[in-house]
Amino acid sequence: MTTASVAPRVFVTGASIAGPALARWLHEAGFRVTLLERSAQPRQAGQNIDVRGLGREVLRRMGLEEAVMANLTGEAGTRFVRGSGAPYAVFPRQVGEDGPTAEIEILRGVMADLVLDQVPDGVERRFGDFVVAATQDPDGVDVRLDSGAEERYDLLLVAEGRSSRTRRLLFEGETSHRDRGVTITYGTIERTDADTDFWDWFTASGGRVASTRPDNVGTTRASLSFVSDDRGFETAPVAQQLAALRRTYQGAGWITERILDGFEARPDEFYVQRMEQVVVSSWSEGRVALVGDAAWGSGPTGMGTTLALVGAHVLAGELARERERGDVAAAFTRYERLLRRYVDSSQGLPPGGARILHPSTRLGVRLLQAVHRVAAWGPVRTRAQKTLLTSAKGEPELPDYRLPSAVED
């Protein structure tokens, strides 16, 4: 980095949650930050997301906890239901505990807006562009954008999503993927009087699952997930995806037909993800580092937002500690040392993996229902949640970063 009298220039790509949080902390520490988002404007779409464990502490340090708590979805807990809609296992939301329904459940778009609002005016924000090339030397990084712009920065920090284009450009050899053999589709459907404030989860035979969750804007968020080895589904046109879902869920029961109708009525809010996790052997190289889903896309573990908030805070804090000495390597090393075990544990799934949660036979469904009933039984519920959920495993001691005041450029 540059000397202490000149604020180092940092280029942050990705403006969902990790990126804006990182920009906020770095600006406070005296860095000159440019924040870039590939979309033409902030993304509003998305499902319910959780903030758990250390993520809650980071919200407090950001001064965001009160605003987040005022914008919760109102989810009352998680219910596993039969085809009739009758629940057979219930995990109520509990204050001070994070079960399947965390104490903090909020829409992704709302959370992203709250974090983006914290980005100071001194941070340069850009939308509608992306990195197409980057080369580095011991003193900095030369970045070329799709718009044709060529710029130089002291650091390039990649806070993009799980399919990060910039990571593919620079860390392809260090990246692997854990495919769980399941495809998940998401969308928004109209809320009806029959809908509750619970996250309702229905398991059918044939490796099929459906769920609905409440939001606080008058609609219902829904998902359909199914066992699939065909990765071509994610890239097919939406009309073909919906037609394939119709065939897959024929005769599944519960309200799957209503969910499919809702997806078709709101195609702009329908999207598909492969249940897959990103594993990068090293989160940094030279003057470039990864954070958030670009570094460790954790898949559907409920920890993605928490890891994004914690990762951004730790990365900014360690860089701030080294701003005067300019020892980037030391900052990146401490960042990864603090978080690697935490991230690795958070990428775990319940024993048996995703396919256990998507049984192929009716007998498998009945056995899974029995497990749900036992896990929801009061005397064992807390222990079962600690065993099956990843939120409290491998937590590091979060440093109390006291970021130095900004300096003059």
The rounded Cα 378 to chain-centroid distance in angstroms is: 30
Q: CA 290, 294, 298, 300 torsion: positive or negative?
A: positive
Q: CA 371, 375, 377, 379 torsion: positive or negative?
A: positive
pLDDT of residue 382: 66
Q: Which of 18, 105, 50 is nearest to 391 (CA)?
A: 50
Query: Exposure string (b/e) for 65-80, b if CB count within 10 Å is 16 or more?
Result: bebbeeebbebbbbbb
pLDDT of residue 274: 87
What is the token pair recorded at 115? 């974090």
Per-residue pLDDT of the chain (409 residues; tens, 9 = 90+): 554 458 899 999 999 999 999 999 999 999 999 999 998 877 766 788 889 889 999 999 999 999 999 999 999 999 999 999 999 999 888 776 767 788 889 999 999 999 999 999 999 999 999 999 999 999 999 999 999 999 999 999 999 998 899 999 999 999 998 888 899 999 999 999 999 999 999 999 999 999 999 999 999 999 999 999 867 888 899 999 999 999 999 999 999 999 999 999 999 999 998 888 889 999 999 999 999 999 998 666 678 899 999 999 999 999 999 988 889 999 999 999 999 999 988 776 655 567 788 999 999 999 999 989 988 887 766 665 555 555 556 788 999 886 544 434 4
pLDDT of residue 385: 59
Report the relative pairing of strands 87-92 and 77-81 from DSSP bridges: antiparallel
Residues 6 or more apart whose Cβ sits within 8 Å of residue 363: none
Q: Which of 28, 120, 46, 69 is nearest to 304 (CA)?
A: 46
- The fold of the 9-72+106-177+277-346 domain, in CATH, is FAD/NAD(P)-binding domain (3.50.50)
Q: Which of 163, 172, 325, 312 is nearest to 235 (CA)?
A: 163
What span, in angstroms and rounded, lies between the C-alpha atoms of 11 and 22? 11
Q: Are 78 and 43 spatial neighbours (Cβ–Cβ below 8 Å)?
A: no
What span, in angstroms and rounded, lies between the C-alpha atoms of 175 and 172? 5
pLDDT of residue 185: 95
Judged by DSSP in three states, 148 sits in coil
Q: Are 35 and 19 spatial neighbours (Cβ–Cβ below 8 Å)?
A: yes
Q: Which of 246, 212, 220, 201 is nearest to 372 (CA)?
A: 201
